[in-house]
Structures are given as structure tokens and as C-alpha cells.
Amino acid sequence: MKGLENIYKRIKDSSDKFLGYPLAKDFTFSEFAPFLDLCINNVGDPEAKSTLTIDTKEVEKKCISFFADILSTTVNDVWGYVTNGGTEGNLYGLYLARECYPDAVVYYSESTHYSVKKNLHLLNMRNIVVRSQENGEIDYEDLEQILTIHRDKPAVFFLNVGTTMTEAVDDLEKIKTIIKKYAIKDYYIHCDAAFLGTIAPFVEPKPKFDFSEGVDSISISGHKFIGGPIPCGIVMCKRAHRNRVANSISYVGTLDTTITGSRNGLTPLFLWSFIEKHGKDGLKRRVCESQELAAYTERKLNEIGVNAWRNKEALTVVFDKPSKKVCEKYQLASEEAIAHIICVPGIKKERIDSLLFDLENEKKEKENLVLLEV
């Protein structure tokens, strides 16, 4: 193919440079090259064998078991599959919620990922946006006020375990208190743990968001903190929810419990190879190292006079949005007046230092301009 080399170079260069997105960079999967000459397809339910056996479902099930374990449960009680990413997992969680309570109202904060609105539109579910606090966490008072108006309706709580912009975590304990206070009988809790799903289990004190807390479903991205060449994710739910939507499809001889029919069979191999290589201890170490880099970044930014902060132990450092030039050079995601750096594995300290250098220079230039004007 013409120009392939240039496409590779461009993407390689961008990958080395970005600082603003939650995608780990420290992976290599070249040992899987022979698999690129095969079509691998995990069509249908991971637990149901298909007539077509070009799959990696055994490996997929092992991945699900591992995730069940870090989410404080076992595959006896929960079921899950490897998705195309966090968005599909969120769509799936909301789909299960709707099948459970067709006339429910969905509550979610304004800091929620942009894809959720579209998901709700696709599912045609009634929903209400709740205000966020300054740090990106849901505003519990606002939630309470809205909830009192609709307390006769089943409630679906779509909670963030790490918002996209500031890595804020909605407090499940507080949500439960509100549920109790208004005696809400029918409710469903989904956690969007796209980025933090593989981090939060290893943070002390551990944010409450998993199956030991009684949540109904959780969505996690695989290509974010774990990292890999193809976007993927994990969705997990209580078994009863999955059984409610299971329809037997004889054509493929499997169960149609997943959103798409054909599913990626390569990504479970990547996830499993990561899990085998690193395990829980490796993940824990990875989290510590990333937290250290985030603490360093936050401290250094403040030292050069840039207003920077983090939510507790977050890998996301939020700061005042710099010039367009700097945002582009370091591929910093920004929203209104703030930008962020996400300290994922594979980001080198030198890259952070280079950004600090540029920010400091820009600051000096600005000060000089002011002096000239005077």
C-alpha cells in the first residue's frame, strides 16, 4: 500500500508526544503478528460455544474472571464480555437497566462522558442531567432535589468512577443515603469506570464502586490504563440482568447477549497477555508509579506559577488552559478554561519537563510584553 510508511510515522510521532489522553503507551504486542493472518471472531455470548470455532472465548472468559476478582466478586454471580470500549459497556449497562425498569428515569451528572447522551437517545430512556460540583463530582443536593420530584419512578443512577475531564468519582455511599432517605424501591446502579476500573481497585482507600457495594453493572475501557493497539473494554453485570436479555439464536448456535454479533477475538488475547504478564501486583505497581508522576507534574506546575490541581490520588492533573500552540504541541485535551495531563504508563518525565519548559517560557514572554507596553 502506498504511503503506509508515512502513516506509520505520523501516528508513531503523535503517540510519543501526546500528554492529554488516558491511553497507556508502554505496550508491545508484536508477538501476536501471526494472528493478523487469521479472522478471529468471538460471535455471541462468551460462555456459549458457537458452531463457528475461530474464537478466543476461553481466553475471554479468563479475562472476565480476572476482572470479577478485582471487582470483588466471582463469575458465579456476575457475567461479562470484552467490548469495543467503554462506550459499548455503558450502552450495555443502560440497556440492561431499561430491560429491568422500562419506565425508569436515568440520573447522571453534567461531567458524564459525551457518549452517554447518545446512548440514552438510542435507548429512548427518560433522563435528567444533574449539576456537577467544581471538581467534577455529581452535586448530591441537586440530585436529591430532582429525585424528590420523580420518586414514584424507578431510578437509574449512572455514576462516574473517574470523569473524563477531572477524574472525579461520584460517591456511592452518598447516593445510597439518598436512595434510603426517599425510600426508592426500584433502582439500578451503573458505574462508568472507563479509565479508573483498572486503577481504583488498587488505590487506598479504595473508592466504593464495585460488586461488593451492590452495583448492577460496570463498564471499563481496556485500551486506556492497560493499553493496547485496538480499542476494547470490559462490561460486567449481575447474572440476572444478562439472563433477562438472553435470546437463543440458532443460526450461530450461541446466545445473542452482546450488543454486536461478530466480536473482536484479538483484544481478549491482548488483555489476557497483559494480565498474565503483570497480574494484580503489577497493576498496583503501575498505579503507584503513575500517581508519583502525577504528583510530580502537579507540584512542578505550581512551582512555575501555573494553577494546577488533582482530585485525590488522580492521575489527571488539571490546570489553566495554556496557549493553542502548547495545547497542540502536547495534544492536551481542554474544556472551557481548563486543560489536563493524564499521567499514564509510558509517559516520560522528560516529556513533562519539556512542557514545563515551554509553559515557563510563554509566561516570561507574556510578562515581557506587559513590560514593553508599560
| Helix (H) and strand (E) counts in the chain | 10, 13
Burial class (CB within 10 angstroms; exposed 0-12, middle 13-18, buried 19+) of 347 = buried
Report whether 63 contacts 272 (CB < 8 A).
Answer: yes
| Rounded CA separation 51/186 (Å) | 39
Of these, 44, 46, 80, 85, which contacts ligand PLP (CB under 6 A)?
A: 85
- Choose between 88 and 306: whose C-beta lies nearer to ligand PLP: 88
Q: Taking the complex as a whole, how short is the minimal distance between the CB of residue 190 and ligand PLP, in angstroms?
A: 11
Of these, 86, 136, 201, 207, which contacts ligand PLP (CB under 6 A)?
A: 86
The interface with ligand PLP within residues 98-117 (CB under 6 A) comprises: 113, 115
The interface with ligand PLP within residues 215-274 (CB under 6 A) comprises: 221, 231, 233
| Rounded CA separation 310/344 (Å) | 14
- Choose between 300 and 310: whose C-beta lies nearer to ligand PLP: 310
Report which residue's Cβ sits closest to ligand PLP: 86
- Choose between 56 and 164: whose C-beta lies nearer to ligand PLP: 164
Residue positions counted in the chain: 374
Number of residues that bind ligand PLP (CB under 6 A): 16
The DSSP call for residue 332 is: -
| Rounded CA separation 11/29 (Å) | 16
The interface with ligand PLP within residues 310-329 (CB under 6 A) comprises: none
Q: Where are the beta strands (DSSP E) in 84-223?
A: 105-109, 126-130, 155-160, 187-192, 217-221
Q: Which residues of 205-218 are buried (b: 16+ CB within 10 A; e: fewer)?
A: eebbbbbeeebbbb
**Contacting range for ligand PLP; rule: CB under 6 A; set: 10-18, 81-89, 328-336, 366-374:** 81-89
Tally of CB atoms within 10 A around 133: 16
- Choose between 64 and 168: whose C-beta lies nearer to ligand PLP: 168
- Choose between 21 and 35: whose C-beta lies nearer to ligand PLP: 21
- Choose between 50 and 163: whose C-beta lies nearer to ligand PLP: 163
Of these, 55, 142, 192, 313, which contacts ligand PLP (CB under 6 A)?
A: 192
**Contacting range for ligand PLP; rule: CB under 6 A; set: 29-37, 49-57, 191-199, 257-265:** 191-199
Q: Taking the complex as a whole, how short is the minimal distance between the CB of residue 234 and ligand PLP, in angstroms?
A: 10
Of these, 164, 257, 258, 267, which contacts ligand PLP (CB under 6 A)?
A: 164
Report whether 308 contacts 298 (CB < 8 A).
Answer: yes
Q: Is 207 in the site for ligand PLP (CB under 6 A)?
A: no
> How do beta strands 316-320 and 308-309 pair?
antiparallel
Q: Residue 360, Cα to own-chain centre: how many angstroms?
A: 32
**Contacting range for ligand PLP; rule: CB under 6 A; set: 54-62, 148-156, 161-169, 360-368:** 161-169
Which strands sit side by side in the sheet containing 338-342, from one edge to the other?
A: 308-309, 316-320, 338-342, 333-335
**Contacting range for ligand PLP; rule: CB under 6 A; set: 6-14, 79-87, 149-157, 169-177:** 79-87
Which chain residues interact with ligand PLP by CB under 6 A?
Answer: 85-87, 90, 113, 115, 160, 162-164, 192, 194-195, 221, 231, 233
